[in-house]
């Protein structure tokens, strides 16, 4: 198949009715617009869906054209990891040179690598003599030392509400604060403003129960919890083909949000038929931690990348075993959180090996946490947070950004680490230099990016 060209009905999204590899090489045609899809087109669509399905089954992975046209600049696959709940940047990437850090956090500080009074296992692991990682983040230390992992400290949005939901919305929408601007997500706008003729139904995938705001506005994004579970459970005596066709029949023509989503779902099912996540064997001796939702998600991203299903963007949440919202007893839960993040990331990078050259992964959070620990031996919502960047062209081995300091006069009026790097500066570099999207004004409207130097 591969080069097969067949007339198709249209579904109102401007895309052919069905996904599957048989449409990938077909140029979209500018048919005269019709309000009423004709009965004939409708029947044809149904018949085709069966043909398409059969072809899909027999097609080799090599038939799939990845990332659109061959002559387009090669762009990276973008992976967004959102640490939800306000991850404490100060305990993830520890400013061991700050007295104030140890004074204000008498119970929950992370000991400096040089502090021999503390067990080696409880000491931070050194990055550059000044900065050090939480001990459970040790799996990321080699990446930093090899120059593959970049860190940006004291970064964040302009959100002053210290509300999880406002701050997340601001970042997912790509705005200074939630109150201003567009309701669509910045990743959605990125996808919308790059060439996506003939793109895969699995172009953008969120590993989540619900679609994150990051992807809002993207018509071709999919939210799924697990590749293995993303299949039709067949009732006895009903072949998949019949069920698929019956559903297609129900979802073929509606222009409501559900009908559109149903068609997307059916197209994704077609494409996913071609990979087998249960049999995925990580490369380079990588071992993904078991019982980690995050690592399982990354492993599935790896499976999709290796399976060449046309993935351009993957969005994952990092919630961890205890959540990042560590208002209470931070010392008892934070290590497990950090460990879950680091072990998953390290396994993914190892698995991908040289493929990392065409991947950019960013881990970020809605805000950092207050310097002063609270009465519950935890920390409340703060401002400046931390970002991690790894992948092709990353200027790693460095803690980027301008450090504002932790003495009272250097903190903001509430006592929080100041934000000195707008998170959009980091993302803008990635969008322009790695994702080859020059429409930065569309992705981050009303924003003039300043160089940070995290990627090139």
Partner 1 sequence: MKLRRREALQLGAVAGAGVALTGCSAIARRFVHTQPIDSVRLPAGDVSKETRLINRVSYGPIPGEVARIRKIGAENYLTEQLHPKDNEPDILSTRLASLEALQINASELGDQPEEEITRQLQMATLLYAVYSPHQLRERMVEFWTNHFNIYSRKGEIAYDQPTDLLQVLRTNALGKFPDLLRTSAHSPAMLQYLDNQVNRKKDTKGAGANENYARELLELHTLGVHGGYTQKDVQEVARCLTGWTVEDRFMHARGTFRFDADSHDTGAKTVLGIKIAAGHGVEDGDKVLDIVSRHPMTAKFVSYKICRFFLGDGADAWSDKMAEIYLKTGGDITQMLRPMLLSAELVSGPPVMKRPYDYSVSALRALNVDTNGDLALHHHLERMGMPLYQWPMPDGYPDRTSAWTGSLLARWNFAFALTTSGIHGTDIRLSDVLEPKKSGYNTNFDNLYASIFGEDPASDAAAEMRERLKSHREPERLAALLISSPEFQWR
Window 91 to 130, contacts with partner 1 (CB under 8 A): 104, 106-107
Under rule CB under 8 A, residue 219 binds partner 1: yes
42 phi, psi to nearest 5 deg:
-65, -45
Instruction: Select from 120-128, 134-142, 227-235, 403-411 the region that touches partner 1 (CB under 8 A).
Output: 227-235
Q: Answer yes or no: are the C-beta atoms of 365 and 325 closer than 8 Å.
A: no
**58 versus 375: smaller Cβ distance to partner 1:** 375
Instruction: Select from 50-58, 206-214, 352-360, 421-429 the region that touches partner 1 (CB under 8 A).
Output: 206-214
381 strand-pairing partners: 369
Burial of 49 by CB count in 10 Å (0-12 exposed, 13-18 middle, 19+ buried)? buried
Number of residues that bind partner 1 (CB under 8 A): 89
Q: In the set 13, 402, 448, 456, which binds partner 1 (CB under 8 A)?
A: 13
Under rule CB under 8 A, residue 43 binds partner 1: no
- Return the SS3 of 220: coil
Instruction: Select from 51-59, 70-78, 141-149, 249-257 the region that touches partner 1 (CB under 8 A).
Output: 249-257
Q: Which of 430, 383, 366, 420 is nearest to 172 (CA)?
A: 366
According to CB under 8 A, which residues from 382 to 401 bind partner 1?
none
Under rule CB under 8 A, residue 240 binds partner 1: no
| Sequence-ordered list of residues with C-beta below 8 angstroms from that of 275, at least 6 positions apart, any chain | 61, 227, 303, 304, 307, 309
Q: In the set 57, 114, 146, 255, which binds partner 1 (CB under 8 A)?
A: 255
CB of 13 to partner 1, least distance (A): 5
**12 versus 405: smaller Cβ distance to partner 1:** 12
Rounded CA gap, 246 and 240, in Å?
A: 10
According to CB under 8 A, which residues from 408 to 427 bind partner 1?
414
Instruction: Select from 130-138, 140-148, 234-242, 419-427 the region that touches partner 1 (CB under 8 A).
Output: 234-242
Distances (CA, A) of 298 to 152, 195, 274, 311, 352: 22, 26, 19, 13, 11
Q: Output b/e per residue, 217-233; b: 16+ Cβ within 10 A.
A: bbbbbbbbbebeebeee
Q: Answer yes or no: are the C-beta atoms of 110 and 91 closer than 8 Å.
A: yes
CB of 88 to partner 1, least distance (A): 14
Under rule CB under 8 A, residue 33 binds partner 1: yes
According to CB under 8 A, which residues from 174 to 203 bind partner 1?
179, 183-184, 192
363 phi, psi to nearest 5 deg:
-110, 130
Under rule CB under 8 A, residue 15 binds partner 1: yes
- Return the SS3 of 427: helix
Under rule CB under 8 A, residue 445 binds partner 1: no
Q: In the set 66, 100, 138, 377, which binds partner 1 (CB under 8 A)?
A: 377
Under rule CB under 8 A, residue 164 binds partner 1: yes
């Amino acid at each position: 198949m591969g080069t097969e060209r067949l007339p198709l009905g249209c579904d109102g999204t401007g895309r052919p009715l069905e996904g599957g590899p048989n449409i990938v090489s077909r140029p979209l045609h500018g048919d005269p617009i019709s309000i009423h899809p004709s009965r004939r087109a409708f029947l044809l669509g149904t018949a085709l869906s069966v043909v398409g399905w059969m072809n899909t089954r027999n097609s080799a992975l090599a038939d799939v054209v990845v990332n659109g046209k061959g002559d387009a600049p090669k762009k990276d696959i973008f992976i967004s990891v959102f640490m939800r709940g306000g991850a404490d940047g100060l305990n993830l990437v520890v400013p061991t040179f700050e007295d104030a850090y140890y004074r204000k956090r008498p119970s929950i500080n992370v000991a400096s690598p040089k502090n021999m009074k503390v067990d080696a296992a409880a000491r931070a692991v050194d990055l550059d003599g000044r900065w050090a990682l939480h001990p459970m983040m040790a799996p990321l230390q080699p990446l930093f030392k090899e120059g593959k992992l970049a860190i940006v400290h004291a970064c964040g949005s302009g959100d002053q509400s210290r509300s999880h939901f406002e701050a997340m919305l601001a970042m997912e929408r790509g705005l200074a604060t939630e109150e201003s601007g567009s309701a669509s997500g910045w990743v959605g706008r990125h996808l919308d403003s790059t060439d996506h003729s003939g793109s895969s139904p699995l172009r953008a995938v969120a590993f989540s129960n619900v679609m994150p705001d990051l992807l809002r506005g993207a018509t071709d994004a999919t939210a799924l919890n697990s590749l293995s579970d993303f299949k039709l459970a067949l009732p006895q005596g009903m072949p998949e083909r019949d069920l698929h066709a019956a559903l297609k029949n129900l979802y073929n023509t509606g222009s409501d949000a559900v009908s559109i989503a149903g068609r997307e779902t059916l197209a994704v099912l077609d494409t996913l038929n071609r990979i087998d996540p249960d049999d995925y064997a990580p490369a380079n001796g990588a071992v993904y931690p078991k019982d980690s939702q995050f690592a399982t998600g990354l492993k599935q991203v790896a499976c999709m990348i290796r399976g060449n299903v046309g993935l351009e963007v993957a969005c994952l949440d990092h919630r961890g075993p205890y959540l990042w919202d560590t208002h209470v007893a931070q010392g008892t839960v934070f290590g497990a959180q950090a460990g879950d993040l680091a072990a998953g990331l390290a396994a993914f990078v190892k698995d991908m090996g040289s493929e990392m050259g065409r991947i950019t992964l960013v881990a970020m959070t809605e805000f950092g946490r207050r310097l002063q620990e609270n009465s519950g031996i935890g920390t409340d919502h703060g401002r400046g947070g931390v970002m991690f960047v790894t992948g092709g062209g990353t200027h790693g081995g460095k803690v980027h950004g301008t450090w504002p300091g932790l003495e009272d006069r250097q903190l903001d009026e509430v006592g929080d680490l100041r934000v000195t790097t707008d998170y959009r500066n980091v993302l803008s570099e990635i969008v322009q230099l790695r994702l080859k999207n020059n429409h930065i004004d569309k992705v981050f409207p009303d924003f003039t990016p300043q160089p940070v130097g995290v990627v090139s």
